[in-house]
Structure 1
Amino acid sequence: MKISEVDFLIVPGLGDSEPGHWQRRWSERLPNAKVVRQADWHKPALAPWVEAIANDVMMATRPVVILAHGLGVLASVHAALGLVDTKVRGALFVAPPDVELHPEVPPAAAPFSPIPRDPLPFPSMLVASTNDPYCSIDRAAEFATCWGSDFHQAGDAGHFNIQSGHGPWPEGLLMFTRLMQRLKS
C-alpha cells in the first residue's frame, strides 16, 4: 500500500504529543495525516475519544492507517472493536500503558480499563520497550498476542517520547515502513 493512497490517523497519548515528539514530526511530513483531537488531553474520557476516532475513520476518503502512542493505543483499540466494515487497513501501536496493573500509570488513564483482549479486525504492529515506565514488556507482549499484532521489542527505549530521546525516531520509521509493506498484500 502506497503512502499516497492512505489517510493516516495519528492518535496521541495522555497530554497530547509535545513539540518535537515523533508523532508531531510524522504528522507534519506524512501526506493525508490527521491528528485525532479531543476536548481535554489531561483528563480524557473514553467514550468521546472513541467516538472521535470512529468519526475520523468514517470521514476518511481513503483506507486508514492508525499511528497511536501511549493511551492513544488503548483509545484506538477500544474504537476498533466497535467499528463495523471499517476502512482501517492497519495500525502502528507504540508503548501502550498497562492501565490495569502498572502502578506508575497516571490516575487520569483509569477510564480506559479494562483493556480489550479481542483480536483486532485489521493487521497491526505493537512496539514496546523493555524499560517503559508504564508497561512491562511481558504485558505488552500479552496485548500484542490478544490483538493479533506483530510484536516488536525495541530494547531500552523508555516510553518513546521526548524524555526518552525519541524526537525524530528513525527506528520507528523503519517499523512503520515494514507495516506499510505488509499492508500491500
Structure 2
Amino acid sequence: MGLHTVLILPGWQGSGPDHWQMHWVRQHGGVLVEQDDWMRPRRGDWLARLDEMVIDTPGRLVLAAHSLGCIQVAAWAAVSRHTARVVGALLVAPGDVERPELHEQLPGWSPIVRQKLLFASILVGSQNDPYCSAARAQDLARDWGAEWVDLGEAGHINADTQLGDWPAGRALLNRLTKET
C-alpha cells in the first residue's frame, strides 16, 4: 500500500470518530477529503473538492467511500479528466439518493450516475441498510462494474455497526491495489 494514497470520502454529515473511515485515517494514514458543508452537500462543490484532492495528492490513489461518498465517486468519475490517477475504489453502503425521503434532503444528487467506472471497484452492501436496499446496491454495483460484497445484516456499515478498524474492509481495499 506504500505506493498508493487512500482518499477517504465520507458521506452526508461526515464520519464521526468511531466510524471505520476515521479509524483508517488515524491508524493507516488515509487522507480525509474534507467538505465545506457536511450537512447541506452541494454536488458541484463535492465533485470539485474531490477533483482538487486527486490533482493535488501525489502518486496513485485509492478511494474509500461511504454512503453519499459512493454517489460522489460515480458522479466525479463521469466528468473528471483525472480518473487515470485512481487505481480503485472501495464503495461502502451507497446512499440511494433517488429514494423520495433522501431526494428531498439531498437535492441535486439525483439521478445517480450509472455509467461504468474506469477503475477497479468493490461495492460492499448490507441486507438491512436503511438508506439503500441490498437489491438496489447490487444494481449499482452491476452498473458501475463493481464486484458485489454482501456484508449480511450490517445496517449502514457505519459507526453503529461497530466495525472499529474494520480489517475485512481493509483487506478488500488492499485487493484493489494488488490488481494494478
TM-score normalised by the shorter chain: which range applies? over 0.9
Aligned residue number for residue 175 of structure 2: 178
Shift of 1:84: 2.1
Aligned residue number for residue 97 of structure 2: 99
Query: Matches of 1:102 and 1:140 in 2, distance apart?
Result: 16
Q: Decide which of 117, 120, 126 is 1:120's aligned counterpart.
A: 117
CA contact (8 A) 1:71 1:109 kept: no
Residues 1:39 and 2:36 aligned together:
yes
Aligned residue number for residue 9 of structure 1: 7
Query: Matches of 1:8 and 1:127 in 2, distance apart?
Result: 17
CA contact (8 A) 1:42 1:108 kept: no
Which TM-score applies when normalising by structure 1? 0.91
Aligned residue number for residue 67 of structure 1: 64
CA contact (8 A) 1:128 1:140 kept: yes
Q: Which amino acid aligns with 1:121?
A: L
SS of the aligned residue for 2:148 comes to strand
CA contact (8 A) 2:103 2:109 kept: no
Q: Decide which of 148, 155, 159 is 1:158's aligned counterpart.
A: 155
Query: Matches of 1:114 and 1:106 in 2, distance apart?
Result: 9
Query: Matches of 1:18 and 1:168 in 2, distance apart?
Result: 13
1:49-68 superposed matches below 5 A: 49-68=46-65
SS of the aligned residue for 2:107 comes to helix
The percentage of aligned residue pairs carrying the same residue is 36
Shift of 1:172: 1.5
My pick for the range that moved more, 33-42 or 47-56, is 33-42
CA contact (8 A) 1:102 1:135 kept: no
The count of residues paired between Structure 1 and Structure 2 equals 179
Shift of 1:48: 0.6
Alignment gaps of 5+ in structure 1: none
Which TM-score applies when normalising by structure 2? 0.93
Point out 4+ residue stretches in structure 1 off by more than 6 angstroms. Answer: none
Which digits, 9 at most, give the CA deviation of each residue in 1:139-180, with x for residues without a partner?
100000100001101100000111222333232123223333
Query: Matches of 2:63 and 2:14 in 1, distance apart?
Result: 16
Which digits, 9 at most, give the CA deviation of each residue in 1:42-81, with x for residues without a partner?
1110001000001111112101100000111111111111
